[in-house]
Amino acid sequence: MRVLVAMSGGVDSSVAAGLLVEEGHEVVGATLKLWGGASDSGCCSVGDVDDARRVARHLGVPHHVFNMAERFEETVVGPYVTDHSRGRTPNPCIECNRNVKFGSLLERARRLGFDALATGHHARVVQGTREPRLARGRDPDKDQSYVLSMLHADQLRSIVLPVGSMTKKDVRAWAAHRSLPTAAKPDSQDVCFIHSDRGRDGFLADRIELHSGTLVDAVSGEAVGIVPAVELVTVGQRRGLGLTTGGRRRFAVEVDVSRRQVKVGDGRLATSRRVTVDRWTWTARPVETGSRALAQTSAHGRPVPCTRTPWGVEFDEPQRLVAPGQTVALYDLVDPELVVGSGTALVGPATA
């Protein structure tokens, strides 16, 4: 099999390439140039490209750099900024997977005659009754099925995830045993296009005007404080609001950028049984209205039972509010390892 391996310069994608080489496949490595600005994390720095190139040389496989900066700006960075300007909380990693890695790069791999695209994600592609299915990675602490939950069957037919059946400890041991240059390289934890020196606040301040906002009690309507930038507040946020709580825990329950206002409330108001969802995608057949599933609303969140509704999802028990812009991933109720689809949370809980 001829496989294009997306090599980010990290240990996971390095081992993915190495495993495929050992299995006898024809492997070509590709590193994406996504971001031209300052970066000290993720897969966008010069050092990461150099690391990927060294690994490819060590494995004896060709290595290329594909410039997809324009696509990245158009589908990831631009929408990230726009979402914040509207009071939403986007997930840029999911959008990068959707539009760039498993969008543009997969399309290019097919055009170039590759049989499959491989990455170092900790998830698995398993054969279902009719179609391939996406499943959780074997290492629960590193499982990345949530950030791949937008993949559909046509993509899964052409995707290989070699490290998904390994623990992170096994991945590093495999890399060390074969003297891969990235064996001890730390994992990246941050958004790749945001430099740690300035953070999200500094990045957004360079691109949009940030406005101070009034904190308003959601029940009484009383003004209770000020936030320096309403665009940086996330629904569900408790810390960093500058509130003197007097022992009361209060959360952001609604962000209204147009009115420059953030409503705050207690823990009861910060939970809901309902979330409105759109942009549904399905890994196989669509989950019909009324069907039961498990919903996960963050990368390492706890999956909880729910019912698919015409407007989104209804949880069996109240859950912490899902910030608009975040992904709601659905897993199979009978086999919780299997992803069935995902969608994007809209503003506010559903009302009916």
3-state secondary structure of 115: coil
Residue 339, strand partner residues: 331
Q: What's CA 128's distance to the chain center, in Å? A: 24
192 is catalytic: yes
Of 112, 113, 115, 133, which is closest to residue 124 (Cα–Cα)? Answer: 133
306 is catalytic: no
d(CA 75, CA 98): 9
d(CA 219, CA 265): 7
- Number of helical (H) and strand (E) elements in the chain, helices listed first: 9, 17
Look up residue 65 and give its amino acid: V
Of 338, 332, 270, 325, which is closest to residue 306 (Cα–Cα)? Answer: 332
Answer whether 288's CB lies under 8 Å from 308's CB: yes
Question: Within 13 Å, how many C-alpha atoms sit on residue 104's CB side?
Answer: 18
Q: What is the CA radius of gyration of the chain?
A: 21
DSSP structural state of residue 350: -
Residue 293, strand partner residues: 306
d(CA 101, CA 352): 37
Distances (CA, A) of 172 to 9, 12, 111, 175, 186: 14, 8, 33, 5, 10
Q: Which residues are known to be catalytic?
A: 96, 192
